[in-house]
A and B are shown apart, each in its own frame.
Chain A
Amino acid sequence: MSETLEKPAPKAALSIVGSRPVRPDGADKVTGRAAYGADFNMPGQLVGRVLRSPHAHARIVSIDASKARALPGVKAVITAADFPDLASEELEGGEAAANLRDLSLNVMARGKALYHGHAVAAVAAVSTEIAEAALERIKVTYEVLPHVIDVEAAMSPDAPVLHDHLFTEGLEARPDRPSNIAKKHRFARGDLAEGFAAADVVVEGRYTTKATHQGYIEPHACVAAWGEDGRCDVWSSSQGHFMVRTFCARLLGLDISDVRVTPAEIGGGFGGKTTVYLEPLALALSRASGRPVKMVMSREEVFRATGPTSGGIVRVRLGAKSDGTIVAADVELTYQAGAFPGSPVGAGAMTALACYDIPNFSIVGWDVVTNTPKVAAYRAPGAPISAFGVESAVDELALKLGMDPIALREKNAVKDGTKASYGPTFQNIGYLDTLAAIRESEHWKTPLGPNQGRGVAVGFWFNVGGESTAAVHIGEDGSAAVVTGNPDIGGSRASMAMMAAETLGLPIDKVRPMIADTSSIGYSMLTGGSRVTFATGMAVVQAAEKVTGELCARAAKLWDVPRDQVAWEGGKAVCLDAAKDRAPLSLEALAAQSARTGGPISGQATINAQGAGPGFGVHLCDVEVDPETGQVSVVRYTAAQDVGKAIHPSYVEGQVQGGVAQGVGWALNEEYIFDGEGRMENAGFLDYRMPVASDLPMLDAILVETAPNPRHPFGAKGVGEVPIVPPLAAVANAVRGAIGVRMPDLPISPPKVLAALDAKGG
């Protein structure tokens, strides 16, 4: 079961926030009515298909599409020549700074194919069969080049170089020749040598993770129509339709105002839908054919050409006093970026030691390009990889010191006033309470069975705020429409409606949330970074407060009292001047008279939310290892998280449980496997093995609400990303407990476990 730990509520009791109503879009989603990316069609639409590179690294010598164009029913064939050749420029609007030229080259290869599956051409035809026949008739002449997948091999001086213009950033001096090392990141404090000299115990390890995919069940899909007047419409499933608008406009040289993007329901993203793949191609095909074009990826294309996150290498050395005080930490991270610079190694470095108060440390991160798909954001990008290494090393330290792993973490825990490893001073964090929640859990006190082991690991994520718009419109019957610009990826309509209802004093079923297209609501950054309930939620509350302010003004007019004599309490305008003896006016009553008192009542708020509170997670995992097969089963799991305040606790628990499941998959099964030619060998759900229902136990979530975020009207912190950070090490530490051998290389698959047991002399 799941539970909540909280201090007594400081302000007026909440009636809706913190409860568990049915989500407003629920009926649509259990009846099949909800329309996702592939569920939309336009009259006369064509089918778009992509021709992808069969080589991991190759020069494109020529493309001859004449035979494809000649095929009856083929309406357009496009290549990079149909897109502007864009200069290198940093581009805002996505998840992090993206490079416009790299984005353009990733969407459609120009001159060189950089990974197996890289788009080199696309066709639009009247049917799927004809589109696929057309792809076979496009003749591409390649000059195959040596490729490199492994991140350490890519760093070696004799590695094939992907980009002749790539010179390592962040070194003391600019290197004299290009390489695959895009950037060096450094964070340091104190004196590392002094720290290790003062240590009584030192542990050291090298930990590796493989590239894993976000694994959303809905493949990328869109429909695009380029009008004769130059106005473009895109319907697509993404984590941000404003992101799609910006990226499409820039890639195709359009004005923002000529692109309208309508968000479809999104069937999962986890960071993987924070960029574009198909939309610019569908637009270009529509321009070339004069017809709307629908494109849907196959699962194989999703694996080969989208996502994944980095594979990485984490080297960790920790030094501690015999009482457990960690005095020195040396961490080196090496992350695969895929075909273009921009792995999440910076965030991996900033989060690596964020749970610990360590006086002397050095963290170095390397961003390395490889002949694999360009990585995309994946839930707390970068953090699970570094946490896997650091939390495994902390577990080793606990074993070496003979210390309880929770006590060791408590001893070194950051708290309010601690300077974070990445710089700023922590405030309003609930990390110690989160550790205590696990220490006091029934799970922690329950003994293990045979062949079982228990692992503890912790994790951190910053959470972000950013730009959001919200509008609240009052209907003449006293109901409210809440309009925002953030796709609902996991139930955010519910939290938006709840925060509006709480502020307005309306029952939840009188509030209808909706997500508007790019022409119908103001700019909103994408749904990601655990920002929507925090930032867009703040915008919703501010918009609702504008509405209550206007309702009070209308009441003041009706009562003929000064505006400051009216307050909004419990869903009613109340006259504060008792001598006037005015009966309170409900929202319904004021709405009914709105035409006569000044017209429709609406409120809009636009914000750039700052001060998102960071979140901490503490996870406890029990595994059972089958000594015959090496199979690791997670038999019990409890995750506690510092959430500030849960607006809809069920969906917060769901975020925690979902993050855990993804992390367990990352730890035990999931990996990109490449053959000698650099082709992914397991590009399907049968061989890329994500957790299924029978792989997992119930996942207990403890929501810690002792440190509400003072910036948010109800105290919410972002919750979606933290829960994927600890599981990799929580599972690995549990396996160490069960078999007595450290498994430093993910995934911890049965053959590896058997080999470890054999080596141990079992």
Chain B
Amino acid sequence: MSKIHVTTTVNGDPVEFLASPGATLMDALRDDLNLTGTKEGCGSGDCGACSVIVDGRVVCSCLMLAPEAEGRRIETVEGLAQGGHLHPLQQKFLEHAALQCGFCTPGLLMASKALLDANPDPTETEARYWLAGNLCRCTGYDKIIRAVLDAAAELRQERAA
């Protein structure tokens, strides 16, 4: 089957690629655009390792077809740090040791960013339910939740300043 031409925006940059009709957004990001920070843990939308933000909503990129990216605004982990500076979420994940193997980290960072974009002051319970779609097998989530809440506090302070 012939490939489909897709024009979209990834991390603020205009990009074009050719996608097989059955290819997922994750395939396009990883294989066509070389953005391998987005990870595949299951391919069925259960682990969240491939989480990216599309038009402000967190999605599992393994469940979205690549041609559906046409005209969208996509954010991946590679776009989180700006101008050589880590995003507060990235910084807090490091300070709190919120990763061990680091494989789930890109997806968790993107899901957490979507959370804080939508809810700048989440409770612990809200954070836990928001991130329930992102599996981590190493940490038991304790330090991840602490990092997200701490980053939320810092972002609120930045905004207030």
**Pairwise interchain contact A685-B139, C-beta atoms closer than 8 A:** no
CB B96 to nearest CB in A, in angstroms, measures 7
Taken together as a complex, chains A and B put the C-alpha atoms of A216 and B142 apart, in Å, by 18
Let me know if B43 is at the binding interface, CB within 8 A. yes
Let me know if A759 is at the binding interface, CB within 8 A. no
Let me know if A219 is at the binding interface, CB within 8 A. yes
Task: Give the dominant DSSP class at B's interface.
Answer: loop
- Give per-residue flags for A10-43: 1 if the beta carbon is below 8 A from chain B beta carbons, else 0: 0000000000101101110111111110110000
Binds B, one of A285-293, A601-609, A687-695: A687-695
**Pairwise interchain contact B39-A661, C-beta atoms closer than 8 A:** no
Let me know if A684 is at the binding interface, CB within 8 A. yes
CB-CB under 8 A for A299 and B140, given A26-B94, A265-B102: no
**Pairwise interchain contact B142-A699, C-beta atoms closer than 8 A:** yes
Let me know if B61 is at the binding interface, CB within 8 A. no
**Pairwise interchain contact B140-A491, C-beta atoms closer than 8 A:** no
Other-chain contact of A696, B106, B134, B140 (Cβ < 8 Å)? B140
CB-CB under 8 A for A30 and B90, given A650-B96, A654-B97: yes
**Pairwise interchain contact B40-A654, C-beta atoms closer than 8 A:** no
Other-chain contact of B102, A38, A267, A651, A685 (Cβ < 8 Å)? A267
**Pairwise interchain contact A661-B139, C-beta atoms closer than 8 A:** yes
**Pairwise interchain contact A217-B47, C-beta atoms closer than 8 A:** yes
- Give per-residue flags for B64-85: 1 if the beta carbon is below 8 A from chain A beta carbons, else 0: 0000000000001110110000
Let me know if B44 is at the binding interface, CB within 8 A. yes
- Which residues of the partner chain A approach B103 to less than 8 Å between Cβ atoms? 36, 216-218, 265, 267-268
- Which residues of the partner chain A approach B10 to less than 8 Å between Cβ atoms? none
Taken together as a complex, chains A and B put the C-alpha atoms of A385 and B65 apart, in Å, by 43
**Pairwise interchain contact A29-B140, C-beta atoms closer than 8 A:** no
Let me know if B15 is at the binding interface, CB within 8 A. no
- Which residues of the partner chain A approach B101 to less than 8 Å between Cβ atoms? 216-218, 265-269, 489-490
Let me know if A171 is at the binding interface, CB within 8 A. no
CB A696 to nearest CB in B, in angstroms, measures 6
Task: Give the dominant DSSP class at A's interface.
Answer: loop
**Pairwise interchain contact B137-A270, C-beta atoms closer than 8 A:** yes
- Which residues of the partner chain A approach B127 to less than 8 Å between Cβ atoms? 693
Let me know if B116 is at the binding interface, CB within 8 A. no
Let me know if B131 is at the binding interface, CB within 8 A. yes
Residue of A nearest to B102 (CB): A29
Let me know if B35 is at the binding interface, CB within 8 A. yes
- Which residues of the partner chain B approach A684 to less than 8 Å between Cβ atoms? 42, 44, 46
- Give per-residue flags for A216-243: 1 if the beta carbon is below 8 A from chain B beta carbons, else 0: 1111000000000000000000000000
CB A1 to nearest CB in B, in angstroms, measures 10
Other-chain contact of B135, A34, A219, A296, A690 (Cβ < 8 Å)? A690
- Which residues of the partner chain B approach A694 to less than 8 Å between Cβ atoms? 125, 128-129, 131-132
CB-CB under 8 A for A698 and B39, given A27-B86, A217-B136, A654-B138: no
- Which residues of the partner chain A approach B49 to less than 8 Å between Cβ atoms? 217
CB B82 to nearest CB in A, in angstroms, measures 11
Let me know if A586 is at the binding interface, CB within 8 A. no
Let me know if A525 is at the binding interface, CB within 8 A. no
- Which residues of the partner chain A approach B135 to less than 8 Å between Cβ atoms? 217, 685, 690, 692
Q: Interface size bucket, A side?
A: 35 or more
- Give per-residue flags for A256-281: 1 if the beta carbon is below 8 A from chain B beta carbons, else 0: 00000000011111100000000000
Taken together as a complex, chains A and B put the C-alpha atoms of A662 and B140 apart, in Å, by 8
Other-chain contact of B100, A489, A662, A690 (Cβ < 8 Å)? A489
Residue of A nearest to B148 (CB): A693
**Pairwise interchain contact A650-B44, C-beta atoms closer than 8 A:** no
Q: Which of A629-681 contact B (CB under 8 A)?
A: 648, 650-651, 653-655, 657-662
CB B134 to nearest CB in A, in angstroms, measures 7
Let me know if A298 is at the binding interface, CB within 8 A. yes
Other-chain contact of B80, A31, A654, A660 (Cβ < 8 Å)? A31
Taken together as a complex, chains A and B put the C-alpha atoms of A298 and B25 apart, in Å, by 17
- Give per-residue flags for B85-113: 1 if the beta carbon is below 8 A from chain A beta carbons, else 0: 01000100111110111111110010000
CB-CB under 8 A for A35 and B46, given A657-B140, A692-B132: no
Let me know if A215 is at the binding interface, CB within 8 A. yes
Let me know if B120 is at the binding interface, CB within 8 A. no
**Pairwise interchain contact B39-A658, C-beta atoms closer than 8 A:** no
Other-chain contact of B141, A22, A35, A299, A661 (Cβ < 8 Å)? A661
CB-CB under 8 A for A31 and B90, given A219-B40, A267-B102, A686-B44: yes
Residue of A nearest to B93 (CB): A30
- Which residues of the partner chain A approach B78 to less than 8 Å between Cβ atoms? 31-32
- Which residues of the partner chain A approach B139 to less than 8 Å between Cβ atoms? 654, 657-658, 661
CB B16 to nearest CB in A, in angstroms, measures 21
Residue of B nearest to A662 (CB): B137
CB-CB under 8 A for A216 and B137, given A22-B94, A31-B81: yes
Residue in B41, B44, B78, B109 whose Cβ sees the most chain A Cβ within 10 Å:
B41
- Which residues of the partner chain A approach B109 to less than 8 Å between Cβ atoms? 30
**Pairwise interchain contact A217-B90, C-beta atoms closer than 8 A:** no
Let me know if B145 is at the binding interface, CB within 8 A. yes
CB A315 to nearest CB in B, in angstroms, measures 31
- Give per-residue flags for A494-532: 1 if the beta carbon is below 8 A from chain B beta carbons, else 0: 000000000000000000000000000000000000000
Taken together as a complex, chains A and B put the C-alpha atoms of A659 and B140 apart, in Å, by 8
Residue of B nearest to A655 (CB): B100
- Which residues of the partner chain B approach A34 to less than 8 Å between Cβ atoms? 102
**Pairwise interchain contact A490-B138, C-beta atoms closer than 8 A:** yes
**Pairwise interchain contact B43-A299, C-beta atoms closer than 8 A:** yes
Residue in B49, B97, B141, B144 whose Cβ sees the most chain A Cβ within 10 Å:
B97
| A to B CB contacts below 8 Å, 10 in the list | A30-B105, A38-B39, A39-B30, A39-B36, A215-B137, A267-B104, A658-B138, A685-B46, A698-B124, A698-B146
Contacts A648-B97, A654-B138, A657-B143 known; 4 new A-B pairs at CB < 8 A:
A29-B102, A217-B47, A218-B39, A658-B138
